[in-house]
A and B are shown apart, each in its own frame.
Chain A
Amino acid sequence: MYRNDPDSTSKTTITLIIAFILAIMIVIADKNNDRFLQKTKSTTDQTITPVLSVISTPLRATENFFARSQDRRRALEENTALKAELYQLREATERANVMEMKLFRFEQILKANIGTDIPNEKIAARAVSELDGPFVKAALLNAGLKKGIKVGHPVMTVNGLYGHVVKVGQNSARVLRLSDLNSRIAVMSSESQATAILSGNNSHFPEISFMSEASAWSEGHQVITSGDDGVLPRGLPIGRVKRGNNNKLGVELDADRVPVDWVWVYPFVPISAPEDMSDDNVLTEAHDIPLSDEEAQ
């Protein structure tokens, strides 16, 4: 079954040993966040994005075919459910309009603006490769700096928050998904306003940890971003609270419901600390504060 050629064996064995040593050295260098390797990773992302975009096309077509046939089977029951939801939403929209009017009036009286900080502008991008590995939950987008995407920008699917940008090149961006082990997002319950941290655990069911009031969280609550971390805007939908097998509270992610193809990146500018701002924009003395029109009069 196997042959033995001493010449080739020795050369091959030496090459194998060298390859093993090199590979181990690369693993160690990567663990120490070697700058050259990080740059290489970024360059590879940019180079490979167009290739992956082409390769993933038949794969996405297959996924869409299965998704569409599933949709067709559920069409009738979905239609009934959607009609019911539509009637509910019409009423909810009317209520929301009234509330918006009231809120606007209160804001005028109090001279406060407590409106949402979700930007109106969206950048569309395609998730050319979605990684669902045992250690990494990430995605590669085919848009980058040229389209205005920056590190930290939230990434949304039609259903909810998908993750945030962690690396960006000229034409590509790497997204850290909510389920990744390194993902930590400040969240709140829409129902109780209680805050917590959503911690990714490399499963499809990230855990709710560091709850401000544990009793204020229960199954079925809608989870949204709280904006407390100053990194993501407040109010982005994430999913619903569900109790896991280990009796811990987790979140069933809205973004996981369907295969992800197109996403939106919100060019959200986080709040800057005064010490991070340029000197011209920082007022340190009380007399520096400009008077309002009324006070000036």
Chain B
Amino acid sequence: MAFSSYSGSGGRGQTTQAVFMLLVLTLIGGLNLNILGYSIAMHLVPLIGICLWPRRAHPVYSIIAIFILGLLLDLLTTEALGGRTLIYLVVFSIFRPDKRIKEHIFGTALVQWLVSVFLVLLLIYFFGWMSRGTRPEALLLIYQAMLATAFFPLIYFIRYVISYILVDPDDRYL
């Protein structure tokens, strides 16, 4: 049977908690942080949810959820509808969590995050430039990436704790 490794309470649990986490991060991603004279959007924070997507989550349901939540972030940020969804799907299809054999440890997750951020920044910069005819402020994008990176360890920790409490020991790791 297809997706046998994702069925059962473990797979369902992993999918549910990953979707819930991405939903919360998407809502946070619609906000702006005004601090110490800087105004930085948190648009890249939901990307952490994609990078920490559990390997046991059902891939088809995951793609559907990522698609819908990408649209939600586009609506929240009033950016071009579908743009963020495309970026999420690119990141998901490159890293394909369902193909991962080993669980994520913090180091590998961080490396994957940094690569994703770099890729996403390039995509936003060049697609934005092509579609809008004007170059986005690169410094603003870098600030956004730095802010999201500062959140990464905290979200990794929360994700780990939730997984530890809610999911069966065999399916526990990311």
What's the Cα separation between A25 and B128 when bound, in Å? 17
Cβ–Cβ < 8 Å partners of B67 in chain A? 19, 22-23
Q: Provided the pairs A23-B67, A203-B137 are in contact, do residues A2 and B32 lie with their beta carbons within 8 angstroms? A: no
Determine if B60 and A11 form an interchain contact, defined as CB atoms under 8 angstroms apart. yes
- Whether the pair A26, B2 counts as a contact (CB closer than 8 A) is no
Identify the interface centre among B59, B67, B78, B79: most chain A CB within 10 Å of its CB.
Answer: B78
Residues of A within 8 A of B93 (CB): 16
Which of A49-57, A94-102, A142-150, A188-196 interfaces with chain B?
A49-57
> In the complex the two chains form, what is the Cα distance from A185 to B43 in whole Å?
28
User: Binding site of A, secondary structure by majority: helix, strand, loop or mixed?
Assistant: helix
One of B46-54, B80-88, B150-158 at the interface:
B80-88
The distance from the CB of A255 to the nearest CB of chain B, in whole angstroms, is 11
- In the complex, the chain A residue whose C-beta lies closest to that of B128 is A135
Q: A16-B93, A22-B67, A133-B43 are in contact. Are A63 and B33 (CB under 8 A)?
A: yes
A30 interface residue per 8 A CB criterion: yes
The yes or no answer to A123 lying at the interface (CB within 8 A) is no
Interface membership of B22, Cβ < 8 A = no
CA distance A12 to B141 in the complex (A): 31
0/1 string, A1-44, CB within 8 A of B gives 1: 11111011101100110011011111101110000010011001
- A7, A15, A24: the one contacting B86 at CB < 8 Å is A24
Q: Are A1 and B128 in contact (CB under 8 A)?
A: no
User: Which of these binds chain B: A124-132, A215-223, A233-241, A263-271?
Assistant: A124-132
Decide: A63 and B34 in contact? CB cutoff 8 A. yes
- Interfacial residues, chain A to chain B (CB-CB below 8 A): 1-5, 7-9, 11-12, 15-16, 19-20, 22-27, 29-31, 37, 40-41, 44-45, 48, 51-52, 55-56, 59, 62-63, 66, 70, 129-136, 138, 174, 181, 201-204, 256, 259-260
